[in-house]
């Protein structure tokens, strides 16, 4: 007798009924670039379809996010002024703080996540404070804590430290609690690889390092044990949610992290993944909607509870 598993594939309705993986807008997070200034919406050449907004123009895109009931928006700030200590990053009137206030005022129910890092704000483009050419881990923690507190003060629901300094989650948790922001969540980039897939982002955010690379603080793509160690430490330090990044090239890591921990896990499908899909689609080589959906299903199947993606709004609309 022939065994016939294909009966379960016989119609779209049945395939949907028995599918093991489901996507919903509430699991998507949409990254947004906000630059200082007024009345600005500008294209990002390496990320077709993505734009930089000045804070006053932000409601245009947030409205689409709110209407589609997506899980949240993740804000990256691009300041006018950069210096050695990233002072614009913790300015209560900084570009990201303005953006957070506008978002919470106009769309109170939309979850706002603030990126906590220094590379967009430092003159040298590194994620930490530099002394004699070396990234200084512990002095950076003090600055990151100030950034997180100022974002919480502006109304951020979640702060997301992407710097990869050791001990960042504990330092930020302590600083938030001391300022009575016990309810502000930390979504920590526990597992972030030194990846070439961040190229378009660095152009978008003007955050490429002026010298050297990020290999002393971001992880080696050849390793997975390190991911388990980093995520365990971050959870112990108080991370409420952890991020594994990039997305599609690291599904094995995502699965291993997911199985080893007890907090929600987010996968960040990064700028380079988006740029590849866009480029192939623009050439007519691949079907954009189908590859973007298949990528998202794959990330969810590998174990992601949350998917951070530049396709978040499109995905939500395609699924509707």
The residues annotated with a catalytic role in the active site are 192, 245
28 contacts ligand PBG (rule: CB under 6 A): no
Q: ∠ CA(95), CA(199), CA(213), 5° rounding?
A: 90
Residues 161-220 that bind ligand PBG (CB under 6 A): 162, 198, 201-202, 207, 214
Closest CA to 242 of 293, 207, 192: 192
Which residues lie below 8 Å from residue 7, measured CB to CB, with a gap of 6+? none
Residue 121 contact among ligand PBG, Zn ion, none, beta carbon within 5 to 8 Å by kind? none
Q: Is 271 in the site for ligand PBG (CB under 6 A)?
A: yes
Site string for ligand PBG, 63-102 (x = CB under 6 A): ----------------------------------------
Inter-residue contact 226 to 220 (CB < 8 Å): yes
Which residues have a Cβ under 8 Å from the Cβ of 16 and sit 6 or more positions away?
none
What's the chain's length in residues?
A: 320
Among 61, 65, 127, 185, binds ligand PBG (CB under 6 A): 127
Select the binding partner of residue 271 from Zn ion, ligand PBG, none (C-beta < 5 to 8 A, by kind).
Answer: ligand PBG
Residue 53 touches which of Zn ion, ligand PBG, none (Cβ within 5-8 Å per kind): none
Is position 117 an interface residue for ligand PBG (rule: CB under 6 A)? yes
151 scored as a contact of ligand PBG (CB under 6 A): no
Q: How far apart are CA 185 and CA 173, in angstroms?
A: 9
Give the separation between CA 315 and CA 252, rounded to whole angstroms: 23
- In whole angstroms, how close is the CB of 201 to ligand PBG at the nearest point? 3
d(CA 211, CA 215): 12
Supply the DSSP symbol for 8.
G
As measured in angstroms, the least distance from the Cβ of 86 to ligand PBG is: 12
Binding residues for ligand PBG (CB under 6 A): 115, 117, 119, 127, 162, 198, 201-202, 207, 214, 270-271
């Amino acid at each position: 007798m022939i065994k016939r598993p294909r009966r379960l594939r016989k119609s779209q309705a049945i395939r949907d009924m028995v599918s093991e993986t489901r996507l919903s807008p509430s699991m998507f997070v949409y990254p947004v670039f906000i630059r200082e200034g007024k009345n600005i919406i500008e294209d990002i050449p390496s990320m077709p379809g993505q734009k930089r907004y000045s804070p006053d123009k932000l409601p245009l895109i947030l409205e689409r996010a709110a209407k589609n009931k997506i899980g949240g928006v993740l804000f990256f700030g691009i300041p006018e002024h950069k210096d050695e200590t990233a002072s614009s990053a913790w300015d209560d009137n900084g570009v990201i703080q303005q953006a957070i206030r506008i978002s919470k005022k106009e769309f109170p129910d939309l979850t706002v996540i603030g990126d906590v890092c220094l590379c967009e704000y430092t003159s040298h483009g590194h994620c930490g404070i530099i002394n004699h050419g070396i990234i200084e881990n512990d002095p950076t923690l003090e600055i990151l804590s100030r950034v997180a507190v100022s974002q919480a003060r502006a109304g951020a629901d979640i702060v997301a430290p992407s710097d990869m300094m050791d001990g960042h989650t504990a330092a930020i948790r302590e600083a938030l609690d001391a300022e009575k922001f016990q309810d502000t969540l930390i979504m920590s980039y526990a597992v972030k690889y030194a990846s070439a897939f961040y190229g378009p982002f660095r152009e978008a955010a003007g955050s490429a390092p002026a010298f050297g690379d990020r290999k002393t603080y971001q992880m080696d793509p050849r390793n997975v044990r390190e991911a388990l160690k980093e995520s365990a430490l971050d959870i112990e330090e108080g991370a409420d949610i952890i991020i594994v990044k990039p997305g599609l090239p690291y599904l094995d890591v995502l699965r291993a992290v997911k199985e080893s921990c007890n907090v929600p896990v987010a996968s960040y499908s990064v700028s380079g993944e988006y740029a590849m899909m866009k480029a192939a689609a623009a050439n007519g080589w691949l079907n954009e909607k189908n590859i973007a959906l298949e990528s998202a299903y794959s990330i969810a199947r590998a174990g992601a509870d949350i998917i951070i993606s530049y396709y978040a709004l499109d995905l939500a609309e395609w699924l509707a």
